Structure 1
Amino acid sequence: MRNILKGSLRGHVCEDCIEVISDVEVLFYLPYRNETPANSTSNIKETFHLVLKEEVKQREKLLIGKAMTDKNGNFEFEINEQYLRADLDIDFICGTVPPKPPKPKRDEILQFHITTISVYEELAKQVQSQNYRWEYNIAYKWWCYIRGHFFDAWVICGHLMNCRTNEPIANAKVTAMDADFLTDDNLGSATTDSYGHFRIDYSSADFKKTFLSPWINIETDPSFLSFQSGPDVYFKAELSGTKLVDETKADARKNVGYCLCVNLCSEISVTDPGETFPSAWTGIGSKFSSSYGTSAPDFDAEGYASSDKNVLFSTIKLTGQAALRSAAGNPIEYRFSVSDVTLPNDDANNPPLAGFTKIVGLYPNLFVPGVVSKLIRKVYSPILNQISVYSDQSDFDAEGWFDVNHAIERALVNAGLTPADLALYNIIEEDTLIAMNTAALTTAADVPNIFSAGQPIPPTNEIGVEKFAIRFEIREVINKAANQFNNINGGKILNSVIMNNNPIYRRLAIKELEETTLCDPISGLVTAKYTLYHPYLASGKLHLNSNSLTINRDIADGVIDNTTLVKRIKDDSVLNTPPDNLTRCTYSLKLYSSTRKHNGEDGDSDGGSPLEQLFFYDV
């Protein structure tokens, strides 16, 4: 009977990231220095080592055979009967590592001693179980060192999960970047599998690129005064155009080694249509929460958003999460409504429910269509792999309840599918429950265009504060035809939200030009006149520069440094101190400004370029 020793070789990249060691030569020796299996297995750190030329020469006569690992890292070796009671040393010659980079940088053969085994014990285990195979996993410290030091093979193994549920996110594209002082390097990208696992292989050439590459390569560490050899790695991840992870170089893991093991998580949910989870309104856009509190994104008691005291304008996205169905399998619906009656956000009471009469989907122009979710195929398909789900007026019933199930079914039908095909897709929660147009609520009149530069805005023409309360409701639909519903705990009211859609009122002039003509050169004292007004002014300044840029400065009394200031008006702002402050040249005077208006994604400045006044100064 033939005595076949079956075995396999694997290497740890991370604890849960193991790769097969294929196409390498396995060597079998009679024991060297009379090591016993017990000693070798209990002292793996001392046993596993690089075999030097001197040791190879000393053990030449002890070699009894060789085998090759296949594509799965498996090998088989026939043992002569005279060695059935012997112990064998096992080595391997490492000529390559996954994913098959070039040959080692050194010319000599790389031979590593693994361990010593008892032939009799291993064959006995194979007799007891036909599926048994001796397996050796090289510890990640050794295997990563071999990969990186000898083959310049660097690797990143990781998982992408949902931060809240810890469920894996499949089919996402993960990109690894190296933060550099000059230009960040793209180390590579990979797609997550059904377990959220991804792997990115790269070499040092990928993070040592410079503007002179490929002639000169070097790692340009952002902390260039303390040069280190490893890359500083940060990650981006996206799924069907939705950003899941958006790290920056500030998040970089500094000077990583040959193997990097990471766990990334995303707040964006990627769920099966049948999953149930708590539904809630949690924010406005990506910047603000929808709650009163002291954290930076929260609303304060008065109704200002975030610690920057922003006010809402334009179209805002009301964000959060909503399951398609309840635990009982019934559809979920939700709605948003607005009241003109408000209370401070720190008040334990809420405004009267009867006042929430401006319902999104019913009140004119309050609803804004937009993407509320995306469908992504569970198994990739080149056709209809991704379907965007848009909200539509038809998704609201007569009372303003929004049915996202209806929106999804409409998206499937429009794509040429049927509602039953939803089972083929996962849902990417876009976080947007609904979008709302604040301009449909605000009514304050703009400042009339009748006031000149330097002229005050009368109190009767100033813009008043407009506050609103926003309510979120959610319900389980038991039988809509029979008007049977179950209101779900999870609705909420934000007592006070300040909104504004008025532009800044800005006027700018040069006093000396107004006294002559706008085309005449001027000399001597130069005086600016300006009017800058908005109830939520954030900044404003005057800036003067000459055509030659020898003069390039802010005008001190035109700078607003107090966010509570709502207006800046002056008719005698001196730009120079004659006779030697300004030289003969053309000058540009600009009035810059911005407000604290914000839509939860982007802030509003002054709605356009700064006001500019040109003049020619003649000494």
Structure 2
Amino acid sequence: MRNIFKGSLKGYVCEDCREVIADVEILFYLPYRKEVPANSNTKETFRFVSKEESKEREKLLIGKTKTDKEGNFAFEVNENYLNSEFDIDFICGTVPPKPPKPKREETLQFHITTLSMKEELEQQERNENYKWEYSIAYKWWCYIRGHFFDAWVICGHLLNCRTNTPIANAKVTAMDADFLTDDNLGTATTDSNGHFRIDYSSADFKKTFLSPWINIETDPSFLSFNSGPDVYFKAELGGTKLVDETKANARKNVGYCLCVNLCSEVTVTNPEETFPSAWTGIGAAFSSSYGSGIHDFDADGFAGSGKQVLFSTIRLTGQAALKSASGNPIEYRFRISDTTAANNTPFLAESNFTKIIGVTPNLFVPSIVSKLTRKVFSFILNDIFVYSNQSDFDAEGWFDVNHAIERTLIEVGLTPADLSLYNIIEEDTLISLNTAALTSAPNVPDIFNAGEPIPPANEIPVEKFAIRFEIREVINKPSNIFGAIGGNGKTLNSIVMNNNPIYRKLAGKELEESTLCTPISGTIHAKYSLYHPYLASGSLHLKSNSGSIDRFVSDGIINSASVKRINNNSPLNAPPSNNNLTRCTYSLKLYSSTRKSNGDFNDSDGGSPLEQIFFYDDNQV
């Protein structure tokens, strides 16, 4: 009977990431008797075999075999050695995923272990599926891969931060943070378990603007040189950013093997998966809660640490599952109240909320509420954006995202049954609201000249509104049977909104007293008016065409904290400090901004300054 010893060889890249070691020679020796340190386990001592030791053991070599592409091998044991112990070594000529050559021209031999061949063959005789398996510890295997083959690797998982479920089919890119230019180490796609692997070499993170002639790792800390890359990650799925790290998140000077777990706040689910539903924010900048955090609303209804006010179209953000745990559809809606209360008091009664997005005219704005991405890549309809539509609301303003998805599938030529082919990316937006349909304060009439006071009757009043989020499980809609869902009734009692522009006027006093084309001289003055109830900044800037004069004008009013900044006699060159205007053409600009934001970007109102051009002639009599 033939005595076939079957085995396999693998190596750990990370504690949860293992790879087969293919196409390497496995050597079988009679035991090499050599003095070893006390307390060492000779049968489990993995070590490097020197040239001298290898030569000394040549006469003990019994035979050799080779691993296949799965890291498996078979070796026929001569019956003369059945009762012997065997030393098992291997010669490493290559490492996955491709066969690079060692950095040194030398044979790399490693001792794996010593075992009783008789015991192993007896186990294989009792169980024909049994084979001896050995996995090299990741500290050893990573050292071999990196030190001898310049083979570096990143193994990781991409998960949802809240549910800890894996995110499949996402593209993960690893970057090396450098002082000069960040290096792209590679990109990989996550599998069904959210697992990804990126292989690279030192050449990938030692690139410079002189590469390939000169390569060196340029550490962004500049003063301390380290040989390993400083790694940070980007991840996206269907064009949606899942992970967006920067240099500040870089893992410093990583070794040959990097093991990471990345998580994304973006919800990616199968159509039948459930998860907690909630209204959590407004745009990307603000939470939908009262508190002291930099994203929270204060008691008076101002948003974030900048005490901003909402304007234009705002995204009411959060997440809502398609179905409840019992498999019933989920619907949600947002209602608005003109009655408000402080945000640090109990929620307003629901009877106050008489306006409904999707019912009250002009409140609803279509927006992307979901994205479908194919589980298996397709060149056609791989990613489908789901926009909210008026038809997705019922008569009471309940929004059905299931209807929106099915409608979108039909519009692109698919059927609702095709949803099973897709993962669903929650796009964060639940509904978008047009705040201009709520605010009604009139603008300041354009009847006042620069520097002229604005009467209190024409000032813009404060406007506040409350928003309530409602969500339900639809058990039987025709019979009006609905179930409660956590998060129902979430309310912001007070949100300050404003859609009025800044009132701005600018003029040159001496120009108005002559003509706009007349050269002026002597001490000259600016006349200006800036007003908005939520004015954030204002500045007056003077610059000569030659560039010799380039300064902000400080007159004690323009830089004040008041929401009204008005002056009809602001000197631009009052002696002695600013009496330096020379014969030239000048530009006088009035800059301003407000505290208006929609949660994603600030108001550009006042972004383009008002400008007054004049010619100054210091020789004019």
Q: Which TM-score bucket, shorter chain as reference?
A: over 0.9
Q: Verify: 1:203 aligned to 2:193, yes or no.
A: no
Matched residue of 2:167: which SS?
coil
Matching residue of 2:113: 115
Q: Verify: 1:472 aligned to 2:464, yes or no.
A: no
The TM-score, its normalising length taken from structure 2, stands at 0.94
Q: How big is the shift at 1:444?
A: 0.9
Matching residue of 2:339: 341
Change (3 A) 1:5 1:378: same
Matching residue of 2:531: 533
- The aligned runs of 1:512-591 (5 Å cut-off) are 512-557=510-555, 565-578=562-575, 581-591=580-590
Match of 2:433 among 433, 436, 453: 436
Provide Cα deviations, 1:309-355, integer angstroms capped at 9, x if missing partner.
Answer: 1111111111111122222322211111111000111112x334333
Matched residue of 1:166: which SS?
coil
Matching residue of 2:330: 332
Matching residue of 1:596: 595
Matched residue of 1:532: which SS?
strand
Match of 2:66 among 65, 68, 77: 68
Q: How big is the shift at 1:49?
A: 2.3
Change (3 A) 1:35 1:19: farther
Mapped contact 1:174–1:236 kept (Cα < 8 A): yes
Q: How big is the shift at 1:188?
A: 1.1
Matching residue of 2:46: 48
Find the aligned partners of 1:214 and 1:612 in 2 and give their Cα distance.
51
Q: How big is the shift at 1:80?
A: 1.4
Find the aligned partners of 2:186 and 2:525 in 1 and give their Cα distance.
58
The TM-score, its normalising length taken from structure 1, stands at 0.95
Q: How big is the shift at 1:279?
A: 1.9
Matching residue of 1:372: 369
Change (3 A) 1:132 1:487: closer
Matching residue of 1:612: 611
Find the aligned partners of 1:106 and 1:553 in 2 and give their Cα distance.
64
Find the aligned partners of 2:614 and 2:141 in 1 and give their Cα distance.
72
Provide Cα deviations, 1:560-579, integer angstroms capped at 9, x if missing partner.
Answer: 777x6322222333333558
Q: How big is the shift at 1:370?
A: 1.1
Match of 1:426 among 414, 423, 426: 423
Matching residue of 1:192: 190
Q: How big is the shift at 1:41?
A: 5.1
Provide Cα deviations, 1:485-529, integer angstroms capped at 9, x if missing partner.
Answer: 234342212100111111112222232333333233333323222
Provide Cα deviations, 1:250-276, integer angstroms capped at 9, x if missing partner.
Answer: 111111111111101111111122222
Change (3 A) 1:217 1:521: farther
Change (3 A) 1:34 1:559: farther
Q: How big is the shift at 1:380?
A: 2.9
Q: Verify: 1:23 aligned to 2:20, yes or no.
A: no
Match of 1:417 among 367, 390, 414: 414
Provide Cα deviations, 1:160-205, integer angstroms capped at 9, x if missing partner.
Answer: 0011110000011111111122222111111110000011111112
Q: How big is the shift at 1:542?
A: 2.0
Question: Structure 1 stretch 437-446 or stretch 488-497: which is displaced more?
Answer: 488-497
Change (3 A) 1:586 1:273: same
Matching residue of 2:97: 99
Matching residue of 1:320: 318
Q: How big is the shift at 1:248?
A: 1.2
Find the aligned partners of 1:558 and 1:84 in 2 and give their Cα distance.
100
Find the aligned partners of 1:586 and 1:440 in 2 and give their Cα distance.
45
Change (3 A) 1:436 1:65: same
Mapped contact 1:163–1:266 kept (Cα < 8 A): yes
Root mean square deviation of aligned Cα? 2.1
Change (3 A) 1:114 1:20: same
Find the aligned partners of 2:290 and 2:29 in 1 and give their Cα distance.
73
Name the aligned partner's letter for residue 111 of structure 1.
Answer: Q
Change (3 A) 1:582 1:211: farther
Matching residue of 1:5: 5
Q: How big is the shift at 1:43?
A: 7.5
Name the aligned partner's letter for residue 128 of structure 1.
Answer: R
Find the aligned partners of 1:2 and 1:149 in 2 and give their Cα distance.
40
Match of 2:180 among 179, 182, 189: 182
Change (3 A) 1:76 1:353: same
Question: Structure 1 stretch 297-306 or stretch 502-511: which is displaced more?
Answer: 502-511
Mapped contact 1:283–1:319 kept (Cα < 8 A): yes
Matching residue of 1:385: 382
Matching residue of 1:397: 394
Find the aligned partners of 2:542 and 2:81 in 1 and give their Cα distance.
93
Name the aligned partner's letter for residue 85 of structure 1.
Answer: N
Mapped contact 2:284–2:599 kept (Cα < 8 A): yes
Find the aligned partners of 2:317 and 2:75 in 1 and give their Cα distance.
62
Question: Structure 1 stretch 94-103 or stretch 289-298: which is displaced more?
Answer: 94-103
Q: How big is the shift at 1:402?
A: 0.9
Mapped contact 1:41–1:116 kept (Cα < 8 A): no
Find the aligned partners of 1:48 and 1:65 in 2 and give their Cα distance.
20
Find the aligned partners of 1:486 and 1:26 in 2 and give their Cα distance.
65
Find the aligned partners of 1:279 and 1:559 in 2 and give their Cα distance.
49
Find the aligned partners of 1:490 and 1:538 in 2 and give their Cα distance.
35
Change (3 A) 1:75 1:405: same
- The aligned runs of 1:65-464 (5 Å cut-off) are 65-100=63-98, 102-348=100-346, 350-464=347-461
Mapped contact 2:557–2:567 kept (Cα < 8 A): no
Q: How big is the shift at 1:387?
A: 1.8
Matched residue of 1:250: which SS?
helix
Find the aligned partners of 2:551 and 2:80 in 1 and give their Cα distance.
94
Change (3 A) 1:78 1:369: same
Unaligned runs of 5+ in 1: none
Find the aligned partners of 2:331 and 2:202 in 1 and give their Cα distance.
53
Mapped contact 1:463–1:534 kept (Cα < 8 A): yes
Change (3 A) 1:452 1:108: same
Unaligned runs of 5+ in 2: none
Question: Structure 1 stretch 435-444 or stretch 478-487: which is displaced more?
Answer: 478-487
Find the aligned partners of 1:489 and 1:5 in 2 and give their Cα distance.
60
Find the aligned partners of 1:393 and 1:606 in 2 and give their Cα distance.
30
Matched residue of 1:76: which SS?
strand
Find the aligned partners of 1:605 and 1:70 in 2 and give their Cα distance.
65
Find the aligned partners of 1:74 and 1:576 in 2 and give their Cα distance.
88
Name the aligned partner's letter for residue 353 of structure 2.
Answer: F
Q: How many residues align?
A: 614
Matched residue of 2:142: which SS?
helix
Mapped contact 1:35–1:116 kept (Cα < 8 A): no
Mapped contact 1:540–1:558 kept (Cα < 8 A): no
Match of 1:483 among 475, 480, 484: 480
Name the aligned partner's letter for residue 401 of structure 2.
Answer: V
Name the aligned partner's letter for residue 140 of structure 2.
Answer: W
Name the aligned partner's letter for residue 16 of structure 1.
Answer: D
Change (3 A) 1:140 1:587: farther
Matched residue of 1:88: which SS?
strand
Find the aligned partners of 1:428 and 1:232 in 2 and give their Cα distance.
30
Change (3 A) 1:599 1:25: same
Change (3 A) 1:148 1:497: same
Find the aligned partners of 2:509 and 2:212 in 1 and give their Cα distance.
60
Matched residue of 1:472: which SS?
strand
